[in-house]
A = this chain, B = another copy of it.
């Protein structure tokens, strides 16, 4: 009933553990006669051998584990809770497909502990919506040399790649045209306040026309003050809430949670979706193959669709 090991196979097949390892891993530098190869393979099948990846990791210095670390605060609104569900699902599914295993871990936004990266010897890390004021904790990780991609966070740092939606392009070119600037804007409440500030700024709207999401009550109060105006909302889940208090046809929704389907039908919408996920994934795969492959510009800006 005990799990079979290389040793068990070696015993059964009457060879050494080394040989078993060679066969099972198809080591190209070794030439094994078909006869022994078969004996080993058969024994391994009979014993239902499954390798122990912890042991392998120890010697290989590679774990095959990729971390997705999401900054979370207590009692988040559901729009925050679901904001990264689609991204996580995409990354996980594609990484799993490629033979990696994904470790999902929420980290306390106000006191991030990233020990998991070293403890588990993660081969790569996605760090999502991180506060920049806590980011210095992380800089020492670079010495560890782990490929790390920061998502949805503006950070003053030149070491790590950062994938971030290009709200500027969207807000200035497509939405707030000079001729129709009588808008209000509802901004998603990212943990990374620099991102929030940046969005506020590029919107070129007055302070009183901008609301940063906090809770339903505040949202309602803000919307009540905007009667008759049209609005831009970042995060489709927030738009669902907003539709309770204002006419959806006056809304333009910027979908950053990968679920445009829930946007009220009368609203106009833009989405950051699949494409963002693809870019993020490809970047990670590239970084893991060649940790030093680095362009000087570490910001990857995603265009909306």
Interface residues of A (CB under 8 A from B): 1, 3, 48, 50-55, 57-58, 63, 65, 68, 72, 78, 81-82, 85-86, 88-89, 92-93, 96, 101-106, 115-116, 118-121, 140, 143-144, 237, 240-241, 244, 259, 261-262, 265
Whether A101 contacts B120 by the Cβ 8 Å rule is: yes
Copies per complex of this chain: 2
**Residues of B with C-beta under 8 A to A3:** 118, 144
**Residues of B with C-beta under 8 A to A72:** 93
Q: For the complex, give the distance between the alpha carbons of A240 and B262 in Å.
A: 6
Whether B85 contacts A121 by the Cβ 8 Å rule is: no
Q: Can you report 23 A-B residue pairs in the complex whose CB atoms are below 8 A from each other?
A: A1-B143, A3-B118, A50-B115, A53-B119, A53-B120, A54-B57, A54-B63, A54-B120, A54-B121, A68-B104, A78-B259, A81-B85, A81-B89, A82-B259, A92-B104, A92-B106, A96-B105, A96-B106, A102-B103, A103-B104, A104-B104, A237-B262, A262-B262
Q: For the complex, give the distance between the alpha carbons of A140 and B241 in Å.
A: 47
Whether B58 contacts A55 by the Cβ 8 Å rule is: yes
**Residues of B with C-beta under 8 A to A143:** 1
